[in-house]
């Protein structure tokens, strides 16, 4: 693969993965009370506290990934958010049969996103990133 294609692919991959977290985090800000109630309905204690943490992790991690700044920290924040969120809110193994397929798809989507995050962690953010610009000085 040419280095130009690799550079643009890394940038596009970071943007696509970051968008889901940035959009989700801003959506949580705009619907804080209803999201906290949804979390409480799923058995989450101290939902307002955990929701505030989720918003911080999604927005800070998503922006870190988007700009490629301190990318390894941003990726770790997003992975730390994604693992419990996936296990708590998409338990396909314990839902009624009519919800099984959707929850399995959502679970697997999150696993795929985690795979993308691990790829960024392993290979770095690429040339079109703040991290690369700082390191190449």
Domain spans of the chain, in order of start? 3-135
Token couple for 133: 């610009």
pLDDT computed for residue 136 by the predictor? 81
Q: Is the pLDDT of residue 137 over 80?
A: no
Residue with tokens 């949580």: 28
CB 124 within 8 A of CB 69: no
Report the C-alpha gap between 88 and 121 in whole angstroms: 24
Measured between its terminal Cα atoms, the distance across the chain in Å is 26
Report the C-alpha gap between 60 and 77 in whole angstroms: 8
Which own/partner contact pairs does 131-134 have at CB distance under 8 Å and 24+ positions apart? 131/68, 131/69, 131/70, 131/71, 132/68
Q: Is the pLDDT of residue 2 over 90?
A: no
Residue environment code for 101-114, b if the CB has 16+ CB neighbours within 10 A, otherwise e: eebeeebeebeebb
What are the tens digits of pLDDT across the range 73-87? 999 999 999 999 999
**pTM metric for this prediction:** 0.92
What are the tens digits of pLDDT across the range 7-62? 999 999 999 999 999 999 999 999 999 999 999 998 899 999 999 999 999 999 99
């Amino acid at each position: 693969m040419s280095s130009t294609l690799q550079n643009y692919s890394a940038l596009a991959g970071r943007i696509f993965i970051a968008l889901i977290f940035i959009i989700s985090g801003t959506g949580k800000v705009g619907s804080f009370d209803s999201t906290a109630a949804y979390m409480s309905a799923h058995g989450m204690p101290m939902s307002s506290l955990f929701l505030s943490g989720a918003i911080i992790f999604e927005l800070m991690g998503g922006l870190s990934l988007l700009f490629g700044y301190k990318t390894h920290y941003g990726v770790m924040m997003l992975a730390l958010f994604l693992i419990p969120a996936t296990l708590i809110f998409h338990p396909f193994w314990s839902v009624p049969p009519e919800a099984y397929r959707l929850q399995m798809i959502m679970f697997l989507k999150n696993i795929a996103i985690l795979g993308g995050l691990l790829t960024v962690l392993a290979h770095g953010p690429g040339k079109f990133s703040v991290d690369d610009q700082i390191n190449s000085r």
